[in-house]
Amino acid sequence: EDTTYRVTARVLPNLRVVVLAFQDVSHLEQAGQMRRDFVANVSHELRTPLTALMGFIETLRGPAREDAAARDRFLDIMQGEAGRMNRLVGDLLSLSRVEGDQRVRPRKSVNLSDVVSSVARTLAPLAKDTSVVLDCDLPDHPVGLIGDADQLMQVVTNLVENAIKYGASGGRVIIKLTEVARDLSLRAPGVYISVTDFGPGIDPVHLPRLTERFYRADSHRSRALGGTGLGLAIVKHIINRHRGRLRIESELGQGATFTVVLPLDLNTV
Q: Nearest approach, Cβ of 225 to ligand ADP (angstroms)?
A: 7
Total binding residues toward ligand ADP, as defined by CB under 6 A: 20
Residues 211-240, mask of contacts with ligand ADP (x by CB under 6 A): -----xxx---x----xxxxxxx-------
Q: Nearest approach, Cβ of 232 to ligand ADP (angstroms)?
A: 3
Among 49, 147, 190, 199, binds ligand ADP (CB under 6 A): 199
Taking alpha carbons only, the member of 199, 198, 229 closest to residue 95 is 229
Does residue 166 belong to the site contacting ligand ADP (CB under 6 A)? yes
Interatomic CA distance for residues 268 and 63, integer angstroms? 67
Contacts of ligand ADP in 140-159 (CB under 6 A): 158
- Using an 8 Å Cβ cutoff, are 81 and 53 in contact? yes
Interatomic CA distance for residues 43 and 9, integer angstroms? 40
Compute φ and ψ for 51, nearest 5 degrees: -65, -40
Does residue 196 belong to the site contacting ligand ADP (CB under 6 A)? no
Does residue 192 belong to the site contacting ligand ADP (CB under 6 A)? no
Does residue 197 belong to the site contacting ligand ADP (CB under 6 A)? yes
- CB nearer ligand ADP, residue 67 or residue 137: 137
Interatomic CA distance for residues 236 and 232, integer angstroms? 6
Taking alpha carbons only, the member of 79, 77, 55 closest to residue 63 is 55
Taking alpha carbons only, the member of 215, 217, 252 closest to residue 234 is 215
How many other β-carbons are positioned within 10 Å of the β-carbon of residue 236? 19
Contacts of ligand ADP in 36-75 (CB under 6 A): none
Footprint on this chain of ligand ADP (rule: CB under 6 A)? 158, 162-163, 166, 197, 199, 202, 210, 216-218, 222, 227-233, 256
